[in-house]
Amino acid sequence: MISRSSPILLLGLFLLLLACSGDDENMDNPVLVVDIDVLINPDGIAPLAARLNLQTNFEVQVTVTVKGKTLGSADLTHQFQPLATTFQLPILGLYAGHDNEVLLEFHDQNGNYVDSRSFILPTDPLISALPDIVIDQASTGNIKSGFNLVNYFGHTGSFLPQRPFMFDEEGEIRWYLDYLDDPDLSTLFSDNGLIRLENGNMIFGNGNTATLYEVDMLGQVKNSWFLSGYGFHHTLIEKPNGNFLVTVNDWSKPTVEDVIIEVDRNSGSIVNTWDLTQSLDPERTAWTGDQVDWFHANGLAYDPVDDAIIVSGRTQGIVKLNASNEIIWILAPHVDWTNAGNGTELSQYLLQPLDSGGYPIMDQDILEGTSSHPDFNWTWYQHSPLLLDNGNLMAFDNGENRNFGGSLNYSRAVEFKINDQARTIQQMWAYGEEEGEDAYSRIVSKVEYYPEEDHVLFAPGACFFQGDFYGKVIEVDRSSKQVLFEATVYPPDATVGITFHNVLRMSIYP
């Protein structure tokens, strides 16, 4: 049968029963399906998802297809790998406010088709807090496959709980989580939002409970880690060993957003700490006069080559530190770098920019950031450090106060080649100045790189231009800089000017 968190729609139930009763007479195999039950939004958290409970007479492999909404829309198909007779499976990617046609197909251990069932899953319309999405540049089929996971901020009224969502190439929202009625997460403030773990689940931190939560695609909490003595903010990443690197506030300190911790996944204990007031200078004021939130850590990357972390501090620059909290290099204009809290002289770690020919750029104005070189520009109030497979570093350069106010407002994705030993930096690629002020986001935002396609996802999340608040999702061919896909996300209410913190492209099924 079909059931849902709201009253049953008889049309869906009728079509399910019709589908389940009409096929077996024409099958040479014995009756396959013993029991089937589909529950829409089973826990009241994922309105565009369902849980399939299924029992069969013999072992099969199950394939689920959600039919496209219109004639031109692509079907969403996923094959679940295990052979079994008892299943509890998620059905993801339903359309909102729509009678979704869903097809189940069953194959035996040799891959042979043995049976199928089809039914209708009716869903409620989207809640008003979610945005309008306009496709500005439709894909021609050559973009990175998957849905766009938006860590969303632009809700109407109170923005809590935050509601991440996924939308497809046509701008249709096909998945979201809503913890409004959850006793623990009704005040979810996930800041930079969800990421996907290697095991396929999602993880996020809640700034209001100082806890990390691992959830499945139906929103069920599978595990949690309380950060005793710390407050979560901004971001976390998963290390290759399964542990978590997390940006936190240390409540024993007078400053905020300047500590990184490593959380042991199994025990929940803190196994390493990076206190940036010791490795850097908390009194440096080149980009801010705030002596409490002086660094504002907003992004992390991990380098497995030397077990080091790369940290973006919005109001200081990007730094690389080893496991002992010692500086490896500093990516920032060469202004006002004196001694660290532990007494280390910091100017020795500043990266020396090179031109496109590999020669040092020695102009003091360029080194200090008051002007730019045709081959090089520093990042300004950046986010989203990303370590590429070739060892290069990519980041979202927000561009606020670029050249200390001497340049036009634009944001960009930028790639640098950094030599850790020589402490040199060479700009290899950039995109965004072409977009101009239309894609300028002075805060938040995200960049991603897809090596198989050689594409870059450029996602400014807090744009304000010509009277509109919005965020953009732009996929660019790295070689040609051709825009392959572009969507604009218009929120009903851009809280503090933010539409979203970031966007990640991924398959909806783990």
Cβ of 71: how many Cβ atoms within 10 Å? 5
Phi, psi of 358 (to 5 degrees): 90, 10
Query: Which of 439, 468, 486 corresponds to the end of one domain?
Result: 439
Residue 201 lies in a domain: yes
- In this structure, the strands spanning 147-152 and 500-506 are antiparallel
Do the Cβ atoms of 473 and 396 come closer than 8 Å?
no
Mean pLDDT across the stretch 169-192? 95
Residue 222 lies in a domain: no
Q: What is the mean pLDDT of the chain?
A: 93
Mean pLDDT across the stretch 493-504? 90
If asked whether residues 342 and 464 sit together in one domain, one would say: no
pLDDT tens digits for range 382-427 = 999 999 999 999 999 999 999 999 889 999 999 999 999 999 999 9
Query: Which of 104, 122, 140 corresponds to the end of one domain?
Result: 122
**How many domains, in total, are found in the chain?**
3
If asked whether residues 432 and 283 sit together in one domain, one would say: yes
In the beta sheet, which residues pair with residue 488?
A: 134, 472
User: Of 221, 222, 201, 226, which is closest to residue 211 (Cα–Cα)?
Assistant: 226
Residue 21 has pLDDT above 60, yes or no: no
Whole-number Å distance between alpha carbons of 367 and 351? 9
Q: Which pLDDT score, from 0 to 100, does residue 494 have?
A: 81
Phi, psi of 235 (to 5 degrees): -160, 160
Q: Which pLDDT score, from 0 to 100, does residue 158 have?
A: 73
Residue that the structure tokens 């409490």 belong to: 292
pLDDT tens digits for range 344-380 = 999 999 999 999 999 999 999 999 999 999 999 999 9
Residue 5 has pLDDT above 60, yes or no: no
Whole-number Å distance between alpha carbons of 332 and 381? 10
pLDDT band at residue 148 using 50, 70 and 90 as cut-offs: very high
State the alpha helices, DSSP H only, in 199-323. 276-279
Q: Which pLDDT score, from 0 to 100, does residue 2 have?
A: 63
Phi, psi of 348 (to 5 degrees): -65, -15
Mean pLDDT across the stretch 265-284? 98
Report the amino acid identity of residue 409.
N
pLDDT band at residue 155 using 50, 70 and 90 as cut-offs: confident
Residue 432 lies in a domain: yes
Query: Which residue range forms the structural domain that includes residue 162?
Result: 128-217+444-510
Whole-number Å distance between alpha carbons of 445 and 442? 9
If asked whether residues 357 and 324 sit together in one domain, one would say: yes
Q: pLDDT over 90 for what percent of the chain?
A: 89
pLDDT band at residue 12 using 50, 70 and 90 as cut-offs: very low
Cβ of 388: how many Cβ atoms within 10 Å? 15
Do the Cβ atoms of 164 and 185 come closer than 8 Å?
no
Dihedral angle of Cα 272, 294, 311, 381, to the nearest 10 degrees: 170
If asked whether residues 380 and 286 sit together in one domain, one would say: yes
Task: Please report the beta strands in 370-451, taking only residues with DSSP state E, as ranges in sequence order.
Answer: 383-387, 393-397, 412-419, 424-431, 446-450
If asked whether residues 397 and 427 sit together in one domain, one would say: yes
pLDDT band at residue 163 using 50, 70 and 90 as cut-offs: very high
240: CB partners within 8 A, 6+ apart:
302, 304
Q: Which pLDDT score, from 0 to 100, does residue 429 have?
A: 98
> How distant, in Å, are the alpha carbons of 34, 138, 409, 480 from that of 449?
46, 20, 24, 15
If asked whether residues 501 and 390 sit together in one domain, one would say: no
- Token readout for 363 is 């102009």
Quote the pTM value. Answer: 0.94
- Token readout for 153 is 């901020």
If asked whether residues 315 and 248 sit together in one domain, one would say: yes
Q: In what order do the strands lie in the sheet with 259-263?
A: 230-238, 244-250, 259-263, 270-275
User: Of 150, 171, 151, 160, which is closest to residue 129 (Cα–Cα)?
Assistant: 160
Q: Which pLDDT score, from 0 to 100, does residue 438 have?
A: 97
If asked whether residues 321 and 421 sit together in one domain, one would say: yes
Do the Cβ atoms of 53 and 90 come closer than 8 Å?
no
Residue 475 lies in a domain: yes
If asked whether residues 318 and 195 sit together in one domain, one would say: no
If asked whether residues 435 and 460 sit together in one domain, one would say: no
Whole-number Å distance between alpha carbons of 116 and 99? 19
Residue 16 has pLDDT above 60, yes or no: no
Cα four-point dihedral sign 328, 333, 339, 340: negative
If asked whether residues 286 and 194 sit together in one domain, one would say: no
Query: Which of 389, 419, 439 corresponds to the end of one domain?
Result: 439
Residue 20 lies in a domain: yes
Whole-number Å distance between alpha carbons of 49 and 120? 13
Residue 319 has pLDDT above 90, yes or no: yes
Q: Check whether the bond before 161 is cis (ω within 30° of 0).
A: yes
**Tell me, what CATH number does 98's domain have?**
2.60.40.3100
> How distant, in Å, are the alpha carbons of 163, 187, 403 from that of 116?
34, 42, 63
Q: Which pLDDT score, from 0 to 100, does residue 156 have?
A: 67
Task: Please report the beta strands in 264-358, taking only residues with DSSP state E, as ranges in sequence order.
Answer: 270-275, 297-303, 308-313, 317-321, 327-331, 352-354
Whole-number Å distance between alpha carbons of 250 and 28? 66
How far from each other are the two terminal CA atoms of the chain, in whole angstroms? 26
Mean pLDDT across the stretch 89-110? 97
Residue 243 lies in a domain: yes
Q: Which pLDDT score, from 0 to 100, does residue 154 have?
A: 84
Residue 6 lies in a domain: yes
Residue 312 has pLDDT above 80, yes or no: yes
Residue 143 lies in a domain: yes
If asked whether residues 118 and 134 sit together in one domain, one would say: no
Do the Cβ atoms of 107 and 63 come closer than 8 Å?
yes
Query: CA Rg, the chain, in Å?
Result: 25
Residue 4 has pLDDT above 70, yes or no: no
Q: Which pLDDT score, from 0 to 100, does residue 3 have?
A: 57
Q: pLDDT over 70 for what percent of the chain?
A: 94
Mean pLDDT across the stretch 475-489? 98
